[in-house]
Amino acid sequence: MKEQNWRDFLRMKVFVRPYACQLGLMIVIGLAGSALGLVQPYLSKYLVDNALLRRDVHALMISAVLMFAATVAGSILSYVSGYGYMRVSASMLLDMRLKVYTHLHALSPRFYARARLGDLVSRLNGDVAEVQRISSDFFLTTLTNALFIAGSLGMMIWLSWKLFFVGIVLIPFSIALFRFFQIRMNLLARELRERSAAIGTLFVETLLGVRLVACFNSSEYESERFRSRNDSFVSTLMRFQSTSMLGRTVPGTLLTAATTAVFVYGGQQIIAGQMTMGTLVAFMAYHSRLLSPVQSLLGLSASLSSAKVSLSRVLELLDAPIEVTEQPDAVAVSAVHRSIEFRDVTLRHDGRAVLDDVSFEIPAGMFSVIVGPSGGGKSTIADLMVRLLDPDAGAVMIDGLDLKRTRLSDLRRTVVLIDQSPYLFHGTLYENIAYAKPFVGRVAVEQAAHAAGLTELLRGLPEGLNTVAGERGLTLSAGERQRVAIARAFLAKPEVLILDEPSAALDAACERELVDNLRWAFAGKTLIAITHKPALASVADHILYIKDGRVVEAVSV
């Protein structure tokens, strides 16, 4: 599992590559800042041995000025590199989030049938932010601290190798202790993120289903479920925190013990006249400064375990395969002249054939109706026609051209599907209708609204088309939502329009008017309605009966 996680970090290189030069520059500036930090303790040796012990004021002034200059220059360089590095890493992580986001948009209904919304949001938001938090200073902190540690160790050996051994003898124990805590934290970090996602999922699911919760008096039950998930989150959080605190402090405390040893041994050397006072002061300065970068590296690798977990959760999303893809030599499609044909199409969900070796043709330029019992596979047929799904066997074709060979954007301009339960964004009715063609003029949107039978509704609304539809269009009735979706279709004016249960929420009079309007607006184009209602079928030019994933009958009127 550990090895896998490290490989995950290697996969970040596609996001790092475009910024490699800028990152490199910031790291060089950061390293220069930390090299300046290394000079300071050595200046204290000069200060003690040459200025203080020899009572030389000139030397005192020189060392004071140099110390001040080194500190200021070092701080400026660290600030510049830290700021620049943060900027670059923020851009990198934006790229990553965007990539995950566009990937999610390309995944099929099969993926979403299984995915949990709360979990997806938690990965896209929380996990990406966690990766960003760590990676925003990972390279810089690691390299500058590593340089500082290596430089300090070198200077310490140079000053007194005996003292050096006394100073570092405890370090391996400290690292071993740290590794022990780190392994525990790895496991706890994953558990923590999963528990947090479980809470998010519960929120999203019960809030989306708030009507169901109310109707079945389940509010208390849901609160109890939330409480229990929260309890297990908090208990993992506490275990994570205590492990994290122990992991940060115990190894560090061990290192502090080494400082005492250096003091004792160095003091003895000075008393015996084998070491200058300045050497011990400089050595102590290096040694005491060693603690903070070592702790910061140890702390960083602790955060790294949590970032590793988040990264693998993000990469799991990116690894979800995209089923519907466009071939490199995809061809344009802009109209249907003869027919849309299903040839020997089989589509399985979880191994069960929803459509079983189905063949039929829907003639172009006519009004066709697909009729059949619930669960018979009608909506699946619609999904196949716009390539939300691809068949497991056989082909869906426009004028003999396999849809898999067409350009996706062309196909979805040519064939438009209005879903069985149409989706509305939280925005005005205008924005919701104009979604089909965002840059079309107001007049066209109004015409589409009227053609879809929204005139009455709009007349009753003080703000007309500027009325806000509410989250998922919930300020509207089901029939009104459906008409907004149909207005979108009028605006898009595709060559082929598929309406999945267009009149399920409409009364007979509205349905009649809708069909008349559709036939008029789509005269000469291909109109396909999926329905349970025989009334719609009675006005169609072509009827297809579907049952249990098979075509029972095809009738041309």
Ligand X SMILES: Nc1ncnc2c1ncn2[C@@H]1O[C@H](COP(=O)(O)OP(=O)(O)OP(=O)(O)O)[C@@H](O)[C@H]1O
Which C-beta is closer to ligand X: that of 262 or that of 370? Answer: 370
Least distance from ligand X to the Cβ atom of residue 392, Å: 13
Q: Establish if 321 lies at the interface with ligand X (CB under 6 A).
A: no
Q: Establish if 102 lies at the interface with ligand X (CB under 6 A).
A: no
Catalogue the long-range contacts made by 462-469 (C-beta closer than 8 Å, 24 or more residues apart): 464/429, 465/428, 465/429, 465/430, 465/433, 466/428, 466/429, 466/430, 467/428, 467/429, 468/426, 468/427, 468/428, 469/424, 469/425, 469/426, 469/427, 469/428, 469/429, 469/432
Least distance from ligand X to the Cβ atom of residue 486, Å: 17
Least distance from ligand X to the Cβ atom of residue 374, Å: 3
Q: Establish if 482 lies at the interface with Mg ion (CB under 5 A).
A: no
- Residue 226: which of 211, 213, 244 has the closest Cα? 213
Helix (H, G, I), strand (E, B) or coil at 454: coil
Distance CA 502, CA 514 (A): 9
Site for ligand X in 330-349 (CB under 6 A): 349
Q: Looking up tokens 């009675």, which residue turns up?
A: 538
- Kindly state the tokens that stand for 163: 């003292």
Distance CA 72, CA 348 (A): 68
- Please work out the total of residues on this chain that contact ligand X, with binding judged by CB under 6 A: 15
Least distance from ligand X to the Cβ atom of residue 141, Å: 45
Which C-beta is closer to ligand X: that of 109 or that of 365? Answer: 109
Q: Establish if 550 lies at the interface with ligand X (CB under 6 A).
A: no
CB atoms within 10 A of CB 104: 17
Q: Establish if 377 lies at the interface with ligand X (CB under 6 A).
A: yes
Residue choice 144, 174, 339, 379 for contact with ligand X (CB under 6 A): 379
For 275, phi then psi, to 5°, come to -150, 145
Question: With CB under 5 A as the contact rule, which of the stretches 66-74, 264-272, 396-404, 420-428 interacts with Mg ion?
Answer: 420-428
Residue choice 321, 375, 441, 534 for contact with ligand X (CB under 6 A): 375
Q: Looking up tokens 């955060």, which residue turns up?
A: 303
Which C-beta is closer to ligand X: that of 355 or that of 491? Answer: 355
Q: Looking up tokens 């309605």, which residue turns up?
A: 529
Question: With CB under 6 A as the contact rule, which of the stretches 14-22, 252-260, 377-385, 443-451 interacts with ligand X?
Answer: 377-385
Residue choice 145, 152, 380, 406 for contact with ligand X (CB under 6 A): 380
Question: With CB under 5 A as the contact rule, which of the stretches 42-50, 232-240, 278-286, 418-426 interacts with Mg ion?
Answer: 418-426
Q: Are 284 and 195 in contact (CB under 8 A)?
A: no
Type of residue numbered 357: D
Please provide the DSSP assignment of 414-437 as one string.
HEEEE-SS----SSBHHHHHHTTS
- Please work out the total of residues on this chain that contact Mg ion, with binding judged by CB under 5 A: 2
Q: Establish if 110 lies at the interface with ligand X (CB under 6 A).
A: yes
Q: Establish if 174 lies at the interface with ligand X (CB under 6 A).
A: no
Distance CA 450, CA 440 (A): 16
Which C-beta is closer to Mg ion: that of 375 or that of 470? Answer: 375
Residue choice 244, 295, 379, 482 for contact with Mg ion (CB under 5 A): 379
Q: Which residues bind Mg ion (CB under 5 A)?
A: 379, 420
Q: Which residues bind ligand X (CB under 6 A)?
A: 109-110, 113, 349-350, 354, 372, 374-380, 420
